[in-house]
Structure 1
Amino acid sequence: MPTPLTHDDPVALGPYRLIARLGSGGMGTVYVARSAGGRTVALKTMHAGIAADPAARVRFRLEVDAARVIGDRFGARVMDADPLAETPWLATEYVLGPALDEAVEAGGPLPEQSVRALGAGLCSALGQLHRSDVVHRDLKPSNILVTAYGPKVIDFGIARAIGDDRLTRAGAAVGTPAFMSPEQATGQEHDAAGDVFALAGVLVYAATGHGPFGSGQAADLLYRVRYAEADLGGVPAALVPLLARCLAKEPGERPTTAQLASRLHDGVGEFADHLPDWLLADIARRAADVWRVVPQRLPAPAVEAGPSEVTAPPARRGRSRRGFLAGAGAVAVTAAVGGGIWSYRRRDTTPPAKEPRQTRNIAPLWQYGGRGSLEMDWWGLIRPYRANGSIWLPMNATVKRLDPSDGRSRQLLFEGNWWQAAAVNDRLYLLGQDFDGQGRSMAIVTWDEEQSYARRTSTRLADAAYVIKPNQLLCISDDVVYVAAGYGKEAEDYGFLPSQTWTLRAADLKTGKTLWTKPLPKRPARSHRLHFLAAKVVGGRLVTLQEVADKKVHLVVRDTGSGSVLWDTPYDVEDIDSLRSEIAADGSRVYVGGDRLRALRLSDGSQVWATESGRRYSPPTLKKGVLYTVGKGVGLTAVDPERGTRLWTEATTEAEEAYTGWQPVIGNRYAYYKNGFQLRAVSLTAHDIALTYQTDAVQFHADTRSGLVLGVDDDFLSAYPLT
């Protein structure tokens, strides 16, 4: 796990700022580091003394080459490297998973299915190397990282081309004794068969917690590797014959990686499906923890100040001149030492110099929640609402009220669901029970701040059953509320029933009258997909993203006066829940993302403009006459909404992980969107990355009154400054 930097570790190497240490050995040190754009990497360096050896530098360059050969599927992706620097360094992706030895030490031996899947993955990794005529030569548990997507092989410090012995002294054994092949133990040629031998040793360790030749002194291990039979005690019986063949003393008797892979695993299922729960939990924890690493540096060791006390000789009556001078000298020495002690203490007690403002990997202002607390069963992540000076979280049995300044819960109030709420003019409205309707009607309720209770308005919806869970409050505009209401029997699983009748209605909040009612399609039993993902009133039109069937979305625009459908067009996106973002529309056009960024006429749905296909775009955000979207591989982009021309694109080379599953949040100075595990704040004037924040959130909402970006994931509501 990461540890603080030492006082003499460099501040940065290349474009990467060092954050923490991952480990240090005889060859060099590995750091956690971050780029200016917030990308976290593992940065490996070589000790200065070793870097002075030209042969060591050649090895380092070969390690970089080998890491590039194996690629990011089976290894850690190489982000950058400088083997010629004064301190040679290699930056790779930060792999989110433990080393195999750490995993086994923490949780014990892996079950057989995990060992088989692990072995098959490692066969593929080694096969990639061997096809490029490269052998690893140091495969061992600490050089294998276990991720949810498969094992990754790292540390190619002694890898080399097959048949190339220019950097190996004749007769020298190079590698780790416990996992060496017999030929490697005698300093002979180590080819692909030698890697297979080491792989078998790794699998024995994974299955039992110990290597096939035990432990002890290097000389003892090398002897056992060459002459003793492997200890396969504890290995699952079905694996013993296969691993014994891999551990044959003669290289020609061992299977190839392809043959071994076919015997280990049939390739069915995802790698994560074969891992034990405790290991998956550890992987998830590490994935979250890495973004919470805060830069720390240990202070330099205190310099000893010398003798702490100097004593003058006893005073005598009638001192001689010599005695006076000696005494004066003693006083002077004491004063000097005393001054030194005072100065040292002064440095300790004086407040440290103000550190530069942190601009990367900043922690949230506050978080509220707990494990799984914000995932509302089948209905998706909760949506926060800003009203009455608070942040409201409708969470079914209760509606929780949070203080925007610190996230503390003020009260636990009445019941309500996030899809049955709306906030307008700093007031909270919800669908509520009409106690006079005998279960045949619903009411619109609002929070009365003076009386501290949910007060019913005059608006009641007849032939609507409050107990039906998927009832929706779509939006409120100009004192008109739009509701999807169900009538009939409540489903046992709280979802839909084919016997239920569904309607879309508009009702006047002032008069309480229903203005119009339109039928909605029926839903099959056991469906838990709401009728609408989002809705907005603009230009006399009710613009909706409607699931006309499960996972089938249409953009449906209705006349607000009559409820009649003016136009209806399919809307195909990869992530349907991304459409819960606020709809981007003005009095003339509706703007949508997906495989292209498009503008459709509000009047008839005809296309005004569209970008070229081939790039995925997030749902867009319209702010002050500019359309903002996140493009896969390019990051934040600003577009002229009238013509569809690009105004500017974020200045970054790190947009591979740009998140298109939610619209960007736009402030006055910055635009916010998720990239990897960071929330980026991009300057609206300089167009570069101004700030990055730690985040696990996947949906983001603007609370302009509180000046907050509210990020939501399964576990937490996280608050960030909205500037």
Structure 2
Amino acid sequence: MGTVYLARSAGGRTVALKTVHARIATETEFRTRFRLESDAARVIGGRYGAQVVEADPLADTPWLATEYVLGPPLDEAVRLAGPLPEAAVRALGAALCGALGQLHRSDVVHRDLKPSNIMVTAFGPKVIDFGIARALGDDRLTHAGAAVGTPAFMSPEQATGAEHDPAGDVFALAGVLVFAATGRGPFGDGQPADLLYRVRYAEPDLTGVPAALVPVLARCLAKDPAERPGTTELAGLLHDGSGEFADHLPDAVLAEIGRRASEVWQVAPQRLPAPPDQPATVPSADAPAAPRLSRRGLLLAGSVLGVAGAGAGVWAWLGRGESAPGPGTGPGYTQPKAGPSVGALKKKKLDSVWQKQTGGPSDDQSPDVPMVAGDQVVLVANAEARGVDPGSGASRWTFSLYADDSWQVASDGTHVYRIQRVEHGQDPATKTVSWFLAEVDLATGKAGKQIAPVSDARHNGILSRLLAVADGTAYLAISHGKVKRYERQSPWFVIAVDLASGRRKWSDPVPFHPAESDDNHFIAAGATGDRLVLFQQTNDNKVRIVARDTRTGRVAWDKPWQGADPRFVRDPLAVDGSHLYLGYGPLRALRLSDGGSAWDTSAARPGKTYGPAVLKDGAVYTVEKGLGLVAFGPGGGQPRWAEKSAEGARAEYVVRPVIGSEYAYTYSRTDGVLRAVGLTSRTTEQLYTTSGNRFVAHRKSRMIIASGPSFLAGFPLR
């Protein structure tokens, strides 16, 4: 059918990229199946299955990109470790009930649940491969008498070509659990015709199944669908949802998960040759595979194996918890030295105070998200803004944005402002649209009084960015004139608006950039004192640092950031009243007055590389690549502090640290943990399991807010 590639984005995100052979893609029926597969994968989402990154079923070569699962398929796990203990089977079954329930609530049935379609991670199973899943009542791709699925795990009704409803998925789930407990299916092995006969007429073989599970699974394997329990009832019969999923897994399975977590980063990126032009036959998805990642994880026809990373979170079922599906897109990555050990996986506890299944911002959005706003934080993602209680993670309000762009919302730390779209008139032929700057009511999320127009008769303003808010002034970038295909082809102006009066204080043009690109021209922005500092992407994909006078808008200085990659420097600005602090190379301080160098570390510490800086209590904190957390004096760059932990070498230097009063917190992508480093001991004192890649301190509630592509979590800030 196709080929699955291990792929990695420029920012370090690892995905499974499923492509379809072009000769098969010409078939209308197959394209429809592939589109339905993508839709079903989106329905189950990253909590229980394949977190879809992007897909294009209409392309000449249809493709589907999903996050990569760090764990073996269930059949390989059993082959490696032997039949699973009863506690593991129960936990597995309860979690899979949650996965199927998610599908069934959306009127989708899987129809091909089997061990090779279930990936085992340290935080719960993931259901994958929806090639024959379909919506209930949709008969476009089947006809009477056609048996579609895998015979060893089909339901009796499916084996006869009859309707396969949610009860059929429960039958298949019971077969999967028999396999997990015994190493074989409930109807044995053999030719498809023999298996189909046994499924329809023979009693299941439950020899070797733990005695307490026999009556539960026997009921699920009833020939009459009406006698089978639903997923909610079955989950309650299997497990109470307590504990962590990893606690129930054998050491051999945990070791395999750790090996894969390490090995996936050791694969050297290379372009593989195109597969030979073989006849369009569909290989068996249950064919034995080599135990190494290179075969099963990189190139397997007919089945997506890598989807949704090994994320942090308590394994969850039926809404009893929140699971975080894996590492998200970060601004860059370092090569890990080793994967987590068996002991580490076994002992890790989810120490988050709360965790919610809420997606975070993309890399092209404002780096200030999640943003602090009084007694709450504001998350902006997926064309929506959400006010979140930092103590509990509860959503207080939401509002929709015109586009999936967090540059439409900004905070000064106390208030939140947005660019609001207002339609005038009902007739589509005469309806007009205006754009206004408005303050957000933090109690309801509704836009309050319109402060100032963003667009007017002369200035179109349909493309606009709310860059920063500080000291009673909002700074925006708006496009003037007719909007063309690429946003940079429209001339841009930076403007300042007085928030009290709504008066436009000044307007100044941004240099014209005609490049045909939809990339955001603005990478980061911040205002302090008499300077508005902007990181701007140029046509040749380089970065310039532009400082404007906040009183007049005129450019005070403009200089290139040598060696900066626009993909990796999207961080909140580290500025005080005198300096701008830069990493991604030597740590440097530029004078805000004229852009000149106040100091840098290249002479005293040649060859050392630092990440983004954070200012706290008169010190500049950053992560030194290969060492860990370090601190310097802001005035002259004198070294003040250096981490002593051996684990510091594993800290992700491109992720901003969070500095508390007792601890500083750094992130290790390799281990999937947020490390609390004692500011007195200078060593790692606590570990918090996480898959976040952005961390924001909400000091009023003494919480750290961690965000990733599919979840939000809160950790204690001390």
Q: TM-score, normalised by structure 1?
A: 0.51
SS at structure 1 position matched to 2:311:
helix
In 2, Cα distance between equivalents of 1:515 and 1:614 = 45
8 Å CA contact retained: 1:465, 1:488: yes
Counterpart residue type for residue 420 of structure 1: Q
In 1, Cα distance between equivalents of 2:289 and 2:581 = 60
The residue number in structure 1 matching 2:525 is 535
SS at structure 1 position matched to 2:72:
coil
Question: Residues 426 and 588 (structure 1 numbering): CA distance in 2 closer, same or farther, change over 3 Å?
Answer: closer
Q: Deviations over 1:425-468 (max 9, x none)?
A: 52211112356798675321112357863113332234444543
The residue number in structure 1 matching 2:708 is 713
Shift of 1:696: 0.9
Alignment of 1:117-516 (within 5 A): 208-209=287-288, 274-275=299-300, 280-281=305-306, 284-285=308-309, 287-288=310-311, 361-370=349-358, 373-376=359-362, 379=365, 383-387=369-373, 389-395=375-381, 397-415=383-401, 417-424=405-412, 426-433=414-421, 442-448=435-441, 453-461=446-454, 462=456, 463-465=458-460, 467-468=462-463, 471-489=464-482, 496=487, 498=489, 500-516=490-506
| Pair member with larger Rg | 1
Question: Residues 555 and 151 (structure 1 numbering): CA distance in 2 closer, same or farther, change over 3 Å?
Answer: closer
In 1, Cα distance between equivalents of 2:717 and 2:565 = 26
Shift of 1:627: 0.5
8 Å CA contact retained: 1:430, 1:445: yes
In 2, Cα distance between equivalents of 1:573 and 1:642 = 24
Counterpart residue type for residue 545 of structure 1: F
The residue number in structure 1 matching 2:23 is none
Shift of 1:699: 1.4
8 Å CA contact retained: 1:704, 1:722: yes
Question: Residues 518 and 666 (structure 1 numbering): CA distance in 2 closer, same or farther, change over 3 Å?
Answer: same
In 1, Cα distance between equivalents of 2:620 and 2:613 = 7
In 1, Cα distance between equivalents of 2:676 and 2:373 = 25
Counterpart residue type for residue 116 of structure 2: G
In 2, Cα distance between equivalents of 1:692 and 1:508 = 45
The residue number in structure 1 matching 2:578 is 588
8 Å CA contact retained: 1:591, 1:599: yes
Q: Deviations over 1:293-331 (max 9, x none)?
A: 99xxxxxxxxxxxxxxxxxxxxxxxxxxxxxxxxxxxxx
Q: Deviations over 1:504-563 (max 9, x none)?
A: 111111221211111123455762322222222223111222223363211111111122
Pick the aligned partner of 1:690 from 679, 685, 700. Answer: 685
Mark the runs of 5 or more structure 2 residues left unpaired by the alignment: 1-68, 80-114, 118-255, 268-283, 317-345, 426-430
In 1, Cα distance between equivalents of 2:302 and 2:378 = 34
Pick the aligned partner of 2:659 from 644, 666, 678. Answer: 666
Shift of 1:503: 0.8
In 1, Cα distance between equivalents of 2:257 and 2:370 = 44
Pick the aligned partner of 1:107 from 107, 110, 116. Answer: 116
SS at structure 1 position matched to 2:451:
strand
SS at structure 1 position matched to 2:709:
coil
The residue number in structure 2 matching 1:159 is none
User: What value does the CA root-mean-square deviation take over the aligned residues?
Assistant: 4.2
Pick the aligned partner of 2:510 from 471, 496, 520. Answer: 520
SS at structure 1 position matched to 2:649:
coil
Indicate the larger mover: 648-657 or 633-642. 648-657
In 1, Cα distance between equivalents of 2:264 and 2:453 = 56
8 Å CA contact retained: 2:381, 2:406: yes
In 2, Cα distance between equivalents of 1:697 and 1:143 = 19
Shift of 1:396: 5.5
- Residue 545 (1) aligns with residue 535 (2): yes
The residue number in structure 2 matching 1:33 is none
In 2, Cα distance between equivalents of 1:565 and 1:549 = 19
Shift of 1:146: 5.5
Shift of 1:591: 1.0
8 Å CA contact retained: 2:469, 2:475: yes
Shift of 1:633: 0.6
In 2, Cα distance between equivalents of 1:483 and 1:560 = 12
Mark the runs of 5 or more structure 1 residues left unpaired by the alignment: 1-94, 109-141, 154-204, 212-264, 295-357
- Residue 619 (1) aligns with residue 612 (2): yes
Shift of 1:383: 1.6
Shift of 1:279: 5.8
In 2, Cα distance between equivalents of 1:615 and 1:378 = 28
Shift of 1:391: 2.7
SS at structure 2 position matched to 1:596:
coil
The residue number in structure 1 matching 2:110 is none
Question: Residues 599 and 521 (structure 1 numbering): CA distance in 2 closer, same or farther, change over 3 Å?
Answer: same
Q: TM-score, normalised by structure 2?
A: 0.51
8 Å CA contact retained: 1:381, 1:714: no
Question: Residues 577 and 624 (structure 1 numbering): CA distance in 2 closer, same or farther, change over 3 Å?
Answer: farther
SS at structure 2 position matched to 1:714:
coil
8 Å CA contact retained: 1:146, 1:152: no
Shift of 1:649: 0.7
Counterpart residue type for residue 396 of structure 2: R
Counterpart residue type for residue 299 of structure 2: H
Shift of 1:650: 0.9
Pick the aligned partner of 1:567 from 557, 565, 568. Answer: 557
In 2, Cα distance between equivalents of 1:430 and 1:143 = 44
8 Å CA contact retained: 2:366, 2:407: no
